[in-house]
Amino acid sequence: MEQPEDMTSLSEFDSLAGSIPATKVEITVSCRNLLDKDMFSKSDPLCVMYTQGMENKQWREFGRTEVIDNTLNPDFVRKFIVDYFFEEKQNLRFDLYDVDSKSPDLSKHDFLGQAFCTLGEIVGSPGSRLEKPLTIGAFSLNSRTGKPMPAVSSGSGLWMDRTTGLEASGGVPGKKCGTIILSAEELSNCRDVATMQFCANKLDKKDFFGKSDPFLVFYRSNEDGTFTICHKTEVMKNTLNPVWQTFSIPVRALCNGDYDRVSLTSFSPSPGVCSLPDNRTLGCMRCPWSLDCTGISHSVSPPQLQVQIPRGALSKSPARTIKVEVYDWDRDGSHDFIGEFTTSYRELARGQSQFNIYEVVNPKKKMKKKKYVNSGTVTLLSFAVESECTFLDYIKGGTQINFTVAIDFTASNGNPSQSTSLHYMSPYQLNAYALALTAVGEIIQHYDSDKMFPALGFGAKLPPDGRVSHEFPLNGNQDNPSCCGIDGILEAYHQSLRTVQLYGPTNFAPVVTHVARNAAEVQDGSQYSVLLIITDGVISDMAQTKEAIVNAAKLPMSIIIIGVGQAEFDAMVELDGDEVRISSRGKLAERDIVQFVPFRDYVDRTGNHVLSMARLARDVLAEIPDQLVSYMKAKGIRPRPAPEAPASSPSQSPARTPPASPSPSPVHTHI
């Protein structure tokens, strides 16, 4: 589908964006009851979306909607397409303007208000639909025009919490700026899984005493021209004509979900040669000047043209997006390169045909030997694509993630009143327990509608009789251990440190069984439990914990373990089960539900806790979506239909072309 006018799509590359996105989502923006800045008519609103870099905290413009004339209740047509990572906190900002001219300079337009949120907030809201009030908040006056402009620096009073350094505006008291409505929809091609099989014929013989042991390595291309590995086949021993086993891979991993999209920019209008944004020609394809020009950006030099290319024309281009390398396996790891070929998703989708027989070429041999033809051929035997239910399908259908935290109160943590203790409460910074809890909790909280989280402790003596407990509520309420929000958990944690005596041993089984008991009560797919255990020591009840985890693996729950301090955590690695599936009494766990990381691996020596905790959250939460989906699939549970959004009166005002972005980035076109 060609939608160059209605979509904005950019990929943000920073130090945390190297992983494959869980999916892509499309954000739709509407507003109600905006401020009316025009004297003789209503406002002409425009929405600008910003994303925030994880490392430098700078806001960067992501894209702009179209301008809608004469309305206070716009329903913008242009969408924002963003990569979605469950495990990351993706901060977004939306600024609204009343456009007074065709100038791309936002300072020349009236500022109507802004809203902050995370992508997780939108996705985790009922029906993936979030409403937030627009606020003017702290702002600065433009020195030239005198108009209010949004303040975005970290010291502006806009968005602040003690762990992220972000600030949120409370707006001007009594000033109603309207409401912004944000809806998220998963792009359908991101749920596709490709299943394929390959064979090879007459590969080069690399072993002196036998034939080759070939295997394939697949790479997807990145936007910067580099390649990222996405799959390896098994090794076929002692053969030059291997037939590899059928394998499946998400299309988003194979080609990042981009089936047809190509970014084109014309730098030489007179001959009509289309080139890529870095001024490289797109293969040898030349585009006739009769192509429709859908937009012109004058904010860069030379001006850039946005054009629509018929899909058929793309077949003339030699550009391909998937690289496959063929190797001969060696025991010492120094695998011998046989050759390579390139293909694309569209070519593979043709299935078994003459188009999917590839010559395996070794570039060095080709340069040295004039008579060199190839090092064999690889043939696609089969290719099929199926659409699977995704994590977002279940979230949008109403599945709630019930988050529970369990904190280690054993004596090995040290006296909380001393600065050497892992539980020491400094007036200047959070301790390791609080940092880990906040890093994980602030992401996962958006997937629980009531924001009430059970918080437990283990390994302490409780007042008044000194009874040792491995399953006590941090808030002191045996009937209801839930705390209100992450701040409520932190408050209960600090209060417990003042009232209980750190003791021991380090037993996990009681808290695992506690959460499993609750998870067992609802197994219809409407709820999924996540237990976060933060501990400093060597586990004391390994056999009982293994049994509890094996029993929990058949339930809708996952377990995250974060080890703080300098202790050895070998036993935790065993519980993780990534290498060997955990078992108890000869019974294997049905699923791998445990993820362990040592906190010390994420301590930033420069003191940048924001970035280091973002990395921690990314690594411990990355497996949760797949674990949730694996449970649902094993139990045959389909996502429920998304709840219907409240009816709203659509805007009747016509849209017009938005002012061009001042960013020098080229215009992107979906083909």
At 229, the pLDDT band (50, 70, 90 cuts) reads confident
At 12, the pLDDT band (50, 70, 90 cuts) reads very low
Sign of CA dihedral 444, 616, 116, 297: negative
Q: What is the pTM of this model?
A: 0.62
Structural domain boundaries in the chain? 7-186, 192-257+319-387, 265-314, 399-544+554-602
Please state which of the ranges 160-164, 453-457, 520-524, 633-637 shows the lowest mean pLDDT.
160-164
The two three-digit tokens of residue 428, written as one number: 């200047």
Which superfamily is assigned to 399-544+554-602 in CATH? Answer: von Willebrand factor, type A domain (3.40.50.410)
Residues paired with 179 in a beta bridge: 32, 133
For the segment 543-580, what is each residue's pLDDT rounded down to a tens digit?
999 999 999 999 999 999 999 998 888 888 889 877 77
Query: Does residue 114 carry a pLDDT above 70?
Result: yes
Buried b (16+ CB within 10 A) or exposed e, 165-185: ebbebebeeeeebbbbbbbbb
Q: HSE on the CB side for 96, CA within 13 Å?
A: 33
Degrees to nearest 5, angle at CA 521 with 517 and 524? 130
Buried b (16+ CB within 10 A) or exposed e, 538-548: bbbbbebbbbb
For the segment 93-103, what is each residue's pLDDT rounded down to a tens digit?
999 999 988 88
- Please give the pLDDT value at position 189: 59
3-state class (DSSP) for residue 573: helix
For the segment 434-446, what is each residue's pLDDT rounded down to a tens digit?
999 999 998 999 9
Domain 7-186: CATH architecture, name and number where available: Sandwich (2.60)
Query: Mean pLDDT highest for which of 158-162, 171-175, 243-247?
Result: 243-247
Q: Give mean pLDDT, residues 35-52.
A: 86
Residues with Cβ within 8 Å of residue 126, at least 6 apart in sequence: 398, 449, 643
More confident residue, 241 or 227: 241
How far apart are the C-alpha atoms of 51 and 29, rounded to whole Å? 15
3-state class (DSSP) for residue 216: strand
Query: Does residue 174 carry a pLDDT above 70?
Result: no
3-state class (DSSP) for residue 265: strand
Cα-based torsion angle of the residue sequence 72, 74, 80, 86 in order, rounded to the nearest 10 degrees: 80
Contact 111, 97 (CB under 8 A): yes
| Residue with token string 């209605």 | 6
At 270, the pLDDT band (50, 70, 90 cuts) reads very low
Buried b (16+ CB within 10 A) or exposed e, 411-425: ebbbebeeeebbbbb
Please state which of the ranges 156-160, 199-203, 419-423 shows the lowest mean pLDDT.
156-160
624 C-beta neighbours (distance < 10 Å), count: 22
Degrees to nearest 5, angle at CA 211 with 208 and 212? 100
Verify cis geometry, omega within 30 degrees of 0, for the bond prior to 505.
yes
The two three-digit tokens of residue 474, written as one number: 């941090």
How far apart are the C-alpha atoms of 216 and 327, rounded to whole Å? 6
Residues with Cβ within 8 Å of residue 366, at least 6 apart in sequence: 372
Write the DSSP symbol of residue 540.
S
Write the DSSP symbol of residue 235.
P
More confident residue, 46 or 168: 46
How far apart are the C-alpha atoms of 596 and 136, rounded to whole Å? 43
How far apart are the C-alpha atoms of 486 and 494, rounded to whole Å? 12
Contact 622, 391 (CB under 8 A): no
At 531, the pLDDT band (50, 70, 90 cuts) reads very high
The CA R_g of the chain, rounded to the nearest whole Å, is 28
How far apart are the C-alpha atoms of 151 and 107, rounded to whole Å? 12
For the segment 133-166, what is each residue's pLDDT rounded down to a tens digit?
999 865 444 444 444 455 554 333 333 332 333 3
- Please give the pLDDT value at position 548: 97
Residues paired with 183 in a beta bridge: 28, 129
Q: Give mean pLDDT, residues 444-460.
A: 94
- Alpha-carbon 645 to chain mean position: 25
The continuous run of DSSP H or E covering 304 comes out as strand 304-307
Number of residues in the chain: 671
Verify cis geometry, omega within 30 degrees of 0, for the bond prior to 302.
yes
More confident residue, 662 or 544: 544
Q: Do domains 192-257+319-387 and 399-544+554-602 have the same CATH topology?
A: no
Fold category of 192-257+319-387 in CATH = Immunoglobulin-like (2.60.40)
Of 21, 426, 402, residue with least CA distance to 190: 21
Verify cis geometry, omega within 30 degrees of 0, for the bond prior to 556.
no
- Please give the pLDDT value at position 259: 62
Query: Does residue 526 carry a pLDDT above 90?
Result: yes
Q: Name the average pLDDT for the chain.
A: 79
Contact 45, 68 (CB under 8 A): yes
- Please give the pLDDT value at position 70: 86
Write the DSSP symbol of residue 155.
T
Query: Does residue 299 carry a pLDDT above 60?
Result: no
- Concatenating the DSSP letter of every residue in 23-48 gives EEEEEEEEEES-----SSS---EEEE
646 C-beta neighbours (distance < 10 Å), count: 9
- Please give the pLDDT value at position 223: 64
How far apart are the C-alpha atoms of 497 and 490, rounded to whole Å? 11
